[in-house]
Amino acid sequence: MGQDNSHPQPGDLIEIYREFYQHWALYMGDGYVINVTPVDEGAPSLSVSIASIFTRKAKVKKQLLKEVVGNDKWHVNNKYDRSHTPRPVGEIIRLAERWIDREVPYDVLANNCEHFVTMLRYGEGVSDQATNAVDGATAAVGGIILVGLAAAVLKGFSRDSSREERRYH
């Protein structure tokens, strides 16, 4: 198991490092976490977010942390505690238990695994991962637009200078 000597406590957020993204779970105690998984029961937990992107649905599951993590690295990451007040642990666990085996909508940018566990811990779904993806996409689109405008302007200048050259020759 790829753990990094973290010692989770009930109610802690667990960040799991997948190849291209981070998967999030909430530690329930006794080695168990709650997390969103693809609706397809046959899909392995490692493909959680990838499969859910296409189905737009996920199922909340209580699973052993070691099964969800597999060989990936993970750690306790309650990073939002700096800006959000966590609910009392008993309340977090009670709320989490109500979600087990329920189907939930899934959207990688607006309602992903990180949103789900932060909603349980803080009462508000937050995801830096989604925010950064949106900001990156916005910057990329903005960059493409700027490059396109620059190309159009340069093309216009080059066309104008060609006309000028013809006029004087």
**Structural domain spans, the chain:** 13-126, 127-169
Q: Per mean pLDDT, which range of 28-37, 131-140, 144-153 is the poorest?
A: 144-153
Could you tell me which residues are beta bridge partners of residue 105? 57
Active site residue 115: no
Catalytic one among 23, 75, 84, 169? 23
The model's pLDDT over 115-146, given as tens digits with 9 standing for 90+, comes to 999 999 999 999 987 666 655 444 444 455 54
b/e map 91-113, b = 16+ CB within 10 Å: ebbebbeebeeeeeebebeebbb
What the block records as the tokens of 43 is 């899909």
Catalytic one among 84, 113, 115, 169? 113
pLDDT tier for residue 154 given thresholds of 50, 70 and 90: very low
3-state secondary structure of 7: coil
Active site residue 84: no
Is the pLDDT score of 4 beyond 80? no
CATH superfamily to which 13-126 belongs: endopeptidase domain like (from Nostoc punctiforme) (3.90.1720.10)
